[in-house]
Amino acid sequence: MLGKLTAQPGDKILELMQKFREDPRPVKIDLGVGVYKDATGRTPIMRAVKAAEKLWWEEEGTKVYTALAGDPGFADAMIELILADTLPRSHIAAAATPGGTGAVRQAFELVQMANPEARVFVSDPTWPNHLSILDHLGMTAIPYRYFDSATGGVDAQGMLDRLAELRPGDVVLLHGCCHNPTGANLNTAEWQAVLTVITEKRALPMVDLAYQGFGDGLHADAAATRRVVAQSPEALIAASCSKNFGIYRERTGLLIATTQDSGKTPLAQATLAHLNRQNFSFPPDHGARLVTRVLTDPALRADWQAELEEVRTGMLALREGLAAELQRLSGSDRFAFIAQHRGMFSRLGATPEQVETMRARSAIYMVGDSRINIAGLNAETVPILAKAMIDAGV
């Protein structure tokens, strides 16, 4: 049987990481992997998380399974962080998952159970794993125009034109903030226009919220998701704690299902628990306990928010520094969009050939579509990247 398996496509980012490790040059820059790094290249454990972990180590008295949907306190704390008072708790079902990826997978399976004919409309481009999971599940993915490579912004009209093709029961996958891989976000008016079409077409909005706090702040980054939930009869949210709590390896996520009809909540909650049971039974708990402690302890929460703000403003400073250096070298403001993007990522507009040139000449590693992880830079490497871009003809 094993001999009948077919080779699966390689992961381009993992392949890029391997090439980076094998590069012997003393000065090299990794802008490919989507993990936050500080100025020294480390991914540190946040202060509040470390403190919460010490407290939990002292208090934890058992390693017995948690509930199928995870610890209720974790769901309550995350729902408050993401939705605040947008909907009463009785209108919200939630289940802990192995990371944001687990939440995305469970959401797609929930859609498939409810409507096997549902098509999922995804931004072009989007996080590659969205498409990979949909393909694995045999679900139909419909791309909608999103990124305008000429301006570095959102092609809102192109997006609306494709969403006009929605059918009742289809799903629209939206990035709640800090769009991956482009860094370009819808503005308030564009969000409203998109929501109007989704509602009129009786489609289901699904929000992937992986970077809350990395863009314009915790509350600002949740504003679009709250608008979606407030205006939609039903909505799904796949939330990740990997980035904003820095607990990548703890695989901590939450799938949220909201409805304006609280009578539907019990069935939705039971279905989320059922999906967990089928896929991995009980969800991981350690990371969820740490997040819960941080969010419910006033002192820890204040320290976490302060450190998260340092992370956010640090990335903004790198964006502004890169845009300014490119303007100085090129004598043009054509790279101003980099400072306007939000989150860890931006798409520079370089061709695959130019990306390869920067790797060969300057040991700068980025994905072939020129998506870069801004957090992979520091004050010393910003000028190196800017010069390499200009020299490569970007």
Residues annotated catalytic, as ranges: 127, 208, 210, 243
- CB-based contacts of 212: which residues, under 8 Å, 6+ apart? 81, 82, 176, 177, 218, 221, 222, 239, 244
Largest CA distance in the chain: 63
Both structure tokens of 259: 């409805």
CA dihedral 56, 58, 59, 60 (to 10 degrees): 70
DSSP state of 45: P
By 3-state DSSP, what share of the chain in percent is helix, strand and coil, each rounded to 5? Answer: 50, 15, 35
Length of the chain: 394
Between CA 295 and CA 318 the distance in angstroms is: 28
Q: Are 208 and 131 in contact (CB under 8 A)?
A: no
Cis peptide before 143 (omega within 30 of 0): no
E runs forming strands in the chain: 29-30, 92-98, 119-124, 140-145, 147-148, 153-154, 171-175, 204-209, 234-240, 252-259, 345-347, 364-365, 371-373
